[in-house]
Amino acid sequence: MAENAKRERFTKVASNRVQNVLHYLDLLKNCANKSNYEYTQEDVDKMFNEIGRALRDVKAVYANEQNKQNSKGFSF
């Protein structure tokens, strides 16, 4: 596949997926309304710890891929 086509596919797919993440974060934000929902600080901490863990995991995958590309490694 041509590099330009890969880039175009990435920007299209990644853009849509980031928009979906942002949309669901907006929906989660609505749950903060104490007149409609009941929650504890422990609940909030659990949610954001899990979200933070997932973000770190995804970021690590991207960093690992970048490192693979930058590493010359051994070759004959």
- Are both 43 and 29 inside the same structural domain? no
pLDDT along the chain (76 residues), means of 10: 90 98 98 98 98 98 87 71
> pTM surpassing 0.85?
no
Strands (E), 1-76: none
Asked whether residue 50 falls in the same domain as residue 64, the answer is: yes
What's the CA gap between 42 and 6, in Å, rounded? 43
pLDDT at 76: 74
76, part of any domain: no
Q: The domain containing residue 63 runs over which residues?
A: 39-71
Domains: count for the chain: 2
| C-alpha span between 34 and 71 (Å, rounded) | 50
Question: Are 6 and 28 contained in the same domain?
Answer: yes
Residues 12 and 26 in one domain: yes
